[in-house]
Structure 1
Amino acid sequence: MINIGKVLDTFSATKESSGLPRPKVENLNLIKDYGIENDKFAGKKLEQTVMIVGVESYEIAKDKGIDLEFGCLGENILLDFDPHTLKVGTNLIIGDAIIQITQVCTVCNHLAVFDESLPLLLKGHRGLYCRIVNNGIVSKDMIVKIEG
């Protein structure tokens, strides 16, 4: 296994929250065939259960004068590397948890609430959806590895 980076922070769309930014949480309990414990999207689209975003996506916006707080892109896991360099099908190992990249997240127009140019600016770079392959707890500063 190869260390490729670490978790910068974790976020969850709780049943009490709505919209963006997603609230920061101490950790995420990833449950295979269900989703993130206490997340309002759990049990729905299992191929899109977890969204990962690299800090680089925020830097792209910042370089254009759009200063976003973390969680604004809808991520569950913020990473210190660019996950867009990885292929669909790649497994990320974080502690006991294993998530598999399933698709590139399409940019939706609701990001325009932050800046009207943001959806186009982040096209193909907003984040990646993942499914949960193995249960586990994910929290800040955990090491992210890939197989191979």
Structure 2
Amino acid sequence: FTKGPVQNAGYILNAGSEQFIQDCVEKLKTDQAASLLIFPEGTRTAKGELLNEFQRGAANIAIRANVPIRPVLITCTPSTLTKNEKWYHVPSQPFHIHVKVLDAIQVDDLLDDATVSPKNVRHLNHQLQQFFNQELSEK
């Protein structure tokens, strides 16, 4: 326990987008038990919005590492800690966080050709954005 809790959790430092992607892919390829928790929006959602536009990092990592994606939906009712909301603005009633873990999605199921290319990364990112928007709208 000489490391701090963040290092013990296997946190990968974002040392620039390309290096970060390489570090994530290496971790997934060398450690079969590894999992990465990535928030594809890259920031918190503003109050009242469904989702921000996804950044392409998660799609890029999934294609390069050739690993399945396990979608996890996190919702909070009533809303709190959203973007542009002060952390000390506490809701008048207790909030409840709901975490829904869905079945894994194979990259090959979303792409005809899962080779690493900017076009495939954009396409997978778009597919994931649509998937999450549909799941959240059904909630």
Instruction: Tell me the TM-score normalized by structure 2.
Output: 0.31
Higher strand share: 1
Higher normalized contact order (CA 8 Å, seq sep 6+, divided by chain length): 1
TM-score by length of 1: 0.30
Q: Rg bigger for which structure?
A: 2
Greater fraction of residues in helix: 2
